[in-house]
């Protein structure tokens, strides 16, 4: 049980700690085993994490769950588009910086005890000791937190070989139908429910990803690896009202629209958006639309002649807990 609790802290807890779940905890828990320099180094080089596109979790790790890794641990959050494809390139070297060339290496996805809810496919081979993939060796299932062994074995190790420079690229296609809210900035922590771990929070959708020289390293083995530990959070498209607020004369109809864009600021087609209405005005004639080739969804509103007051139309990415409002002020 002690090991399971420790693992929860190092994976899901790294995020929950930032939400003040562990605020006031001592800097070093009883039995803390300080990390030592690793004999191998694994760094994410594409996309390269910077202060502009990632959120460092190093202060959370220090004196706590950094003990489960080499001294060169670098944990951080990055964002990706839900239902999108991600290519991650790592460089594997020894402690002296020489490339680990032409060697089988691994990327551990949905790390065990992380409680990651994300699911993927990959064109690469995988090592997964569980039995709940229906024979699909390219599928990556969620981690079951160690509490439901009948569902499988948790983490999946994606397999490839480094080139002469010690580089290895892993491709993941995400299959979750809905993600987190679109972040305010790539280097800012997203909004989550207070006091709830990511695994139980509808506002959170992330995977814990770790490179390794072993498919499923033990805690002792992982303490020999200095690595970038990636908490990759998958987000819904940004949903923006093309006209956030407008006055409309009652007795006529008005088409309002919302635009969907992804992290690269490209428009997003083929995504279902639901609508609800509050306040004045007639009931909406439709409750969902799929974004078109321009990333737009449209809804028609109307109000009887003589109506005066505010109508709020709220649009949500299907499955998202929060939405975006457009306000219509009906006038005579």
Q: Is pLDDT above 80 for 3?
A: no
Q: What percent of the chain has pLDDT over 70?
A: 89
Distance CA 192, CA 204 (A): 6
Pair (168, 251) in one structural domain: no
Q: How many domains is the chain partitioned into structurally?
A: 2
Pair (156, 187) in one structural domain: yes
Pair (120, 146) in one structural domain: yes
Q: Among 205, 235, 265, give the residue marking a domain's end.
A: 235
Q: How many CB atoms lie within 10 A of CB 148?
A: 10
Hunting for tokens 């109000």 — which residue is that?
A: 303
Question: DSSP of 140-158, one letter per residue?
Answer: EPPP-TTT-GGG--S-EEE
Average pLDDT, the chain: 89
Helical H runs in 29-98? 58-61
Q: How many CB atoms lie within 10 A of CB 249?
A: 12
Q: Give the max Cα distance, the chain.
A: 78
Pair (64, 130) in one structural domain: yes
Pair (245, 211) in one structural domain: no
Helical H runs in the chain? 2-10, 12-18, 58-61, 219-222
For 149-189, the pLDDT digits (tens) are: 545 567 999 999 999 999 999 999 999 999 999 999 999 99
Pair (221, 283) in one structural domain: no
Q: Give the range of the structural domain holding residue 310, as residue numbers without chain letter.
A: 238-331
Residues 13-22, mean pLDDT to the nearest whole number:
36
Q: Is pLDDT above 90 for 21?
A: no
Q: Are 110 and 141 in contact (CB under 8 A)?
A: yes
Name the band, by pLDDT with cuts 50, 70 and 90, for residue 199. confident
Q: Among 235, 259, 289, give the residue marking a domain's end.
A: 235
Residues 306-313, mean pLDDT to the nearest whole number:
97
For 281-302, the pLDDT digits (tens) are: 999 999 999 999 999 999 999 9
**pLDDT (0 to 100) of residue 17:** 39
Task: Copy the structure tokens of residue 86.
Answer: 């991600």
Q: Is pLDDT above 90 for 90?
A: yes
Pair (98, 41) in one structural domain: yes
Pair (151, 271) in one structural domain: no
Residues 135-148, mean pLDDT to the nearest whole number:
81
Pair (24, 79) in one structural domain: yes
Q: Are 313 and 275 in contact (CB under 8 A)?
A: yes
Pair (65, 189) in one structural domain: yes
Residue 229 CB-density burial (10 A; 0-12 exposed, 13-18 middle, 19+ buried): buried
Name the band, by pLDDT with cuts 50, 70 and 90, for residue 30. low
**pLDDT (0 to 100) of residue 2:** 34
Distance CA 76, CA 54 (A): 6
Pair (226, 290) in one structural domain: no
Question: DSSP of 13-29, one letter per residue?
Answer: HHHHHHTTTTTT--SS-
Pair (11, 34) in one structural domain: yes
SS3 166: coil
């Amino acid at each position: 049980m002690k090991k399971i609790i420790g693992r929860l802290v190092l994976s899901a807890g790294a995020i929950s700690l930032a939400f003040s779940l562990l605020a006031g905890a001592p800097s070093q828990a009883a039995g803390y085993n300080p990390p030592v320099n690793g004999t191998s180094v694994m760094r994410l080089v594409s996309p390269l994490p910077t202060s502009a596109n990632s959120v460092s979790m190093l202060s959370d790790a220090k004196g706590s769950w950094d003990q489960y890794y080499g001294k060169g641990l670098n944990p951080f959050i990055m964002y990706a588009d839900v239902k999108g494809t991600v290519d991650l390139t790592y460089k594997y070297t020894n402690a002296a910086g020489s490339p680990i060339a032409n060697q089988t290496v691994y990327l551990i996805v949905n790390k065990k005890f992380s409680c990651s809810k994300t699911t993927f496919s990959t064109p690469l081979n995988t090592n997964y000791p569980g039995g709940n993939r229906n024979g699909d060796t390219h599928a990556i299932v969620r981690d079951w937190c160690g509490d439901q062994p009948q569902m499988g074995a948790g983490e999946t190790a994606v397999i490839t070989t480094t080139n002469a420079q010690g580089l290895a690229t892993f491709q993941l296609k995400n299959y979750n139908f809905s993600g987190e809210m679109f972040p305010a900035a790539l280097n800012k922590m997203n909004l989550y429910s207070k006091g709830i771990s990511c695994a139980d929070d509808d506002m959170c959708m992330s995977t814990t990803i770790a490179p390794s020289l072993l498919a499923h390293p033990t805690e002792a083995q992982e303490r020999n690896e200095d690595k970038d530990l990636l908490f990759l959070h998958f987000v819904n498209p940004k949903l923006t009202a093309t006209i956030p607020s407008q006055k409309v004369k009652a007795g006529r109809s008005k088409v309002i629209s919302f635009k969907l864009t992804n992290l690269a600021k490209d428009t997003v087609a083929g995504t279902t958006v639901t609508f609800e209405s509050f306040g004045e005005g007639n009931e909406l004639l439709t409750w969902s639309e799929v974004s078109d080739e321009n990333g737009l969804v449209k809804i028609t509103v109307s109000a009887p002649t003589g109506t005066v007051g505010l109508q709020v139309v709220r649009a949500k990415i299907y499955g998202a807990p929060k939405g975006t409002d457009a306000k219509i002020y009906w006038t005579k």
